[in-house]
Homo-oligomer: A and B are copies of this chain.
Amino acid sequence: MAISTQVQLVRRPQGWPVPEDFRTVAVELPELGPDQVRVANAFLSVDPYMRGRMNDAESYVAPFALDATMTGGSVCRVVESTSADVPVGSAVTHDLGWRDVAQGDAAQFRVVDDGVPLSAYLGVLGMTAFTAHLGLLQIARMQPGEVVFVSGAAGAVGSMVGQIAKLKGASRVIGSAGSPEKAALVQERYGFDAAFDYKDGHVFRQLRAAAPDGIDVYFDNVGGVHLEAALGSLRRDGRVAVCGAISGYNDEQAQPGPRNMARIIQQGLTLRGFTVPFHTQHYPAFLADMTGWFTSGQIAYDETVVDGLDHAVDAFLAMMRGQTTGKTLVRL
C-alpha cells in the first residue's frame, strides 16, 4: 500500500501566510486503474501567483480549495504505470503539486525529454521562462532597438525577461532588484545593461538615471511604486506587460494605483495584463527559441533549491520576501 504525504491549505491567510494556514496529511493511494501512472515527485515549483490563489477572491486563476492539497507545477519520474504512452522511468511534468507521490490518469502527465536536468522544466524550459517570453514579445510586443525595464530582475521571471530582451535586440535593458548583491547579479550574470537596488532610493529617479531618455517597454512583476515610476518614464506608444504585483500580494487592504495614470493618455501608453493559461498557443514559439538558447549556453539560469516537502511553505515565504534568487524549487 502506498502513502502520499501532501500539504494542504486549511485556512485563508490574512496578510502574510503563517504555518498554521497549512497542514501535512498522509493519504493512502488506491491501486492504479487502467491507463494511470504513479510518480515520485522530484521537484515542486513555488511561484508568486500561488499567494493570490490562497485568497477566497478570484485571483489569476480559481482559488485553492480549503482542505485540499496545494496544486502547482512539478517534475518527476514515473514509478508505476498502466499506460503504454507513459512507461515507468519516464520523466514527466504535471500540476498536482505539493505531494511526494502523485498518481492519476496518464493524460495529466506530460512526458519530457530526458536530456536536461529535470528541474529545468519548471523554470527555463517551463512556465517561468514562458511567462517572460510571452509577456515581453506577445503582450508588450517589444521591438528590436527598444529600451526595456524589468522589475524583480533577479527573480525567476525577471532574469529571463532581461536576457530574452537582449537576445531579441533590445538596445538597452534595465533591471531593479531588492539588494545591492542582486542588482550586481542582474548586471554581471544576467547581462542587463544597468540595474539598481530599489530600496536604495526613489525608484523613478534611479530609473531615470539608468534610462535618461525614457523607456519603451516595462515588464511589471511587482506593481506599486515601480509601476508609477515606469509610467513616468515610458515614451510615446510605450507598453507595459502587467505580469505580477508581488509588492501588494500580502497586503490586507488593496493599495491605490499609480498617481500618474494621466500619463497613459498623454503618452498613448498600453497596459496589458496576462496569465499564461490563456496564451498557450504561443508555447511552441517559446520552446523553439528557448531550447536553442539554453542548449547553446546563451541563457544564465539560477535556482534556489530547498529540500523537503516539510519546507515547502518556508520556501514559498522566502521567495515572497525576496530571499531567494532565480527559480525557487522544493526538492523531494
Contact = CB atoms under 8 A, between A and B. Distances in A.
A17 interface: no
A165 interface: no
A264 B271 contact: yes
B278 A273 contact: no
Interface in A255-287: 255-275, 278
Given A256-B257, A260-B254, A262-B245, A271 B274 contact: no
A257 B269 CA distance: 15
B273 A248 contact: no
A76 interface: no
Interface string A183-210: 0000000000000000000000000000
A155 interface: no
Interface stretch (A32-40, A236-244, A296-304): A236-244
Nearest to A270: B272
A60 interface: yes
Nearest to A256: B256
A60 B266 contact: yes
A171 interface: no
Nearest to A223: B261
A62 to B, nearest CB: 11
A255 B269 CA distance: 19
Given A257-B258, A259-B256, A274 B266 contact: no
B264 A58 contact: no
A164 interface: no
Contacts of A273: 263-270
12 contacts: A59-B266, A60-B265, A236-B278, A242-B265, A256-B256, A256-B258, A257-B261, A264-B272, A264-B273, A265-B273, A268-B274, A271-B272
A-B pairs with lowest CB-CB distance, top 9: A257-B257, A256-B256, A264-B273, A265-B273, A254-B259, A257-B261, A271-B271, A270-B272, A257-B258
Given A243-B265, A244-B265, 8 more contacts: A52-B262, A58-B266, A254-B262, A256-B257, A264-B271, A267-B273, A268-B273, A269-B272
